[in-house]
Amino acid sequence: MSDLVCGEVASLEPVEGKDKLKKLFVKVSDDADAEAHVIVTNAPNVEVGKRLVVVLAGGTLRDGTEVRKTTVGGVLSVGMVCDSTMCGWSGGGAGTAALLPLDFPLGAPAPSSRLRLDGKNDDEGTDDAVKKAQAKEVEKAAKKAALAAKRAARDAARAAKKAGGEDTGENEAEGEDAG
């Protein structure tokens, strides 16, 4: 698993004549003199400054496939951008770069499971989800109560109108008797 490491997109440019291919310049070290490795990908979610999981040429994927230098779209690529499946993570789209938090150390082995990109740990994320669900339930109950109050007011108005109409009818009948 140590062949899957954290890299940062230092720069990127489109591959000429290829709609979806991008030529990335990926750093896998904080060393200012470190070489940026050229990796060609069609992953749609790569941007300058993002950290992602890569395997450089000579490294091995989880399934035993050795990554080699190869020409992609006419550009020599010396590595591969990994997706969640290649990392052994659950979720994530095939062909979408496996992203890492911005504070994940460059060159460090990829984690065994996907990390949250919002800086929270899983417990905090779960707490947020619980709070959202509770807030949604409270909002739903408030809407039900408001609807019930609206219906009660409507029914009361109808009853009053009906009662008022009966009173008017009785008065008219009394008026006829008087005349």
What backbone torsions phi and psi does residue 14 show, to the nearest 5 degrees?
A: -70, 150
CB 39 within 8 A of CB 81: yes
Let me know whether 70 and 131 are in one domain. no
Closest CA to 5 of 45, 51, 42: 51
Backbone angles phi, psi at 80, to 5 degrees: -145, 140
Mark whether 99 and 143 lie in a shared domain: no
pLDDT score at 52: 92
Q: What is the pLDDT along the chain (179 residues), one digit of tens a residue?
A: 469 999 999 999 998 888 889 999 999 888 888 889 999 999 989 999 999 999 999 988 888 888 899 999 999 999 999 888 888 877 767 778 888 989 888 988 888 777 777 665 554 555 566 677 777 778 888 888 889 999 999 999 999 888 876 554 444 444 445 44
The tally of CA atoms less than 13 A away on the side-chain side of residue 142 is: 6
Relative to beta strand 4-14, strand 22-27 is antiparallel
Whether 126 and 149 map to the same domain: the answer is yes
Burial class (CB in 10 A: 0-12, 13-18, 19+), 38: middle
pLDDT of residue 120: 59
Residue-level pLDDT at 1: 46
Supply the CATH number for residue 60's domain: 2.40.50.140
Domain with 62, as residue range(s), is 4-119
Of 119, 148, 166, the last residue of a domain is 119
Task: Enter the tokens of residue 80.
Answer: 């591969």
- Residue 39's pLDDT is what? 93
| pLDDT of 8 | 92
Q: Are residues 145 and 165 in the same domain?
A: yes
Q: How many CB atoms lie within 10 A of CB 50?
A: 17
The count of domains in the chain is 2
| Residue 116, pLDDT score | 74
Verify that 88 and 134 share a domain, yes or no.
Answer: no
Continuous H helices in 72-121:
84-87
φ, ψ (nearest 5 deg) of residue 27? -100, 140
Q: Return the pLDDT at 96.
A: 85
Pick the last residue of a domain from 99, 119, 139. Answer: 119
Are residues 82 and 24 part of one domain?
Answer: yes
